[in-house]
Amino acid sequence: MPEQLSVKKIAGEVFYQIADAIESGKFGRNIKIGLTTLGCEVGVENWVKAAEEISDRMDEFEVVLIGPRQQTHLLQFEASTEEEMHRKMETMLDYGMLDACITTHYTYPIGVASVGKMMAPGKGRDFYLATTSGTAALNRSSAMVMNALYGIIVAKTMGIESPRVGILNVDGARQTEKALHQLAANGYPIEFANSVRPESGCIMRGNDVIAGTPDVLVQDSLTGNITMKMCATFMTGGSSESVGAGYGPGIGENYERLAMVISRASGYSVVQNAVLYAVQLAKGKLNQVAKKEFDLAHRAGLQRLIQSLNNDRNGRGTRNSEEVVSPLGEPVTSGISGVDIMDIEQAVKLIWKNGIYAESGMGCTGPILMVNHRNLEKTLVLLRQTGFLVQEEIECV
């Protein structure tokens, strides 16, 4: 009940501010892009100036700030904590008050992963990293197949009719290639890129990252996160991100929030690029494109293909078939890291069996468990007693 009151209070506050903004004429343009400001590590005034400049320069959209009050003419919604900031962001997205929102340190549910936009260091062309945060599936190969689909969805939304797909040469690349060719043979249209190394086919080498060979570069999320950070911080010696448009929107079947992630160390140009990325995705109707592509993929046997990949894992079927009922849901405000992606489902069920509500997600350094802060210490003890080497999640850049 207190949680319901809290949500209603935030929603009421947001609606009140929206009404006031409409009356004052500050909320007039069609496309509205949110930008949260808590956690910025390069000087929040840089983000505000970047947002002001890009918003003033373009007539088709406006940037709305969420966070501590700033000296700016942009419309603002105040929030003093990260939890309050994300709650307001989600409320505004869910009620259509924002078309998209750009934020930091945001945890997506399992099944959702983000597609980053990067400029190739060698040739200056844009390409999409699928994916850069979150996790599409617990099975690595299944996740990479879904990542390919997520990347295609974003590329098509951005106006590329037949995006060329390449798979980074990481563990599981060949199995992913085989699965994608099977999906294509079943009727889902996939155009494969060709590596600059003639013997590699659609399996991309490091050369291809520098050259930006494919339109969509498929990899697991953690590798994608590293690839993004290396390309984005190369010109600054690793201190801040100055290239690209951030880690992108979370994509997942039936996931409708256009919630986009940037690093806390994102520089001026990255913030502006992320805003333009968000505007293009909103104009391109990302959710409609996603629905169409998921429908096409399912008609081509996507579900059977994923199930086959899951059953092939280590020669066994999916583990942890035991049915465990989830306790009553509550806000999950604290993260726990140190659980391998293959064991995350087992850990969630273990916590549930002990009467504690938990959710799984993917942080910027790997999979995490989310629990209410009141249950954090109890959950850490429980997991450690069971053999998990866990610790409280540390906020990362």
Mind telling me the catalytic residues?
Answer: 364
Tokens of 392: 């409280």
Is 378 in contact with 338 (CB distance < 8 Å)? no
Is 282 in contact with 158 (CB distance < 8 Å)? no
Q: How many residues does the chain have?
A: 397
Lookup result for tokens 């043979």: 185
* Cα→Cα distances 175→38, 139, 178, Å: 41, 12, 5
Lookup result for tokens 């064991």: 343
97-256-278-89 Cα dihedral, nearest 10 degrees: 50
Tokens of 309: 């990949």
Is 90 in contact with 308 (CB distance < 8 Å)? no
**Cβ atoms within 10 Å, residue 280:** 17
> Please, which residues have CB within 8 angstroms of residue 199's CB and are 6 or more apart in sequence?
none
* Cα→Cα distances 198→121, 194, 204, Å: 21, 8, 10
Q: Choose among 25, 91, 33: nearest CA to 65.
A: 33
Question: 140-157 and 286-299 are packed helices; what angle lies between their axes, rounded to 10 degrees?
Answer: 130
Taking the C-alpha atoms of residue 180 and residue 171, their distance in angstroms, rounded to an integer, is 16
Taking the C-alpha atoms of residue 184 and residue 152, their distance in angstroms, rounded to an integer, is 13
Q: Choose among 373, 302, 387, 294: nearest CA to 338.
A: 387
The enclosing H or E element of 250 equals strand 248-251
Taking the C-alpha atoms of residue 279 and residue 257, their distance in angstroms, rounded to an integer, is 14
* DSSP letter for each residue of 274-290: HHHHHHHHHHTTHHHHH
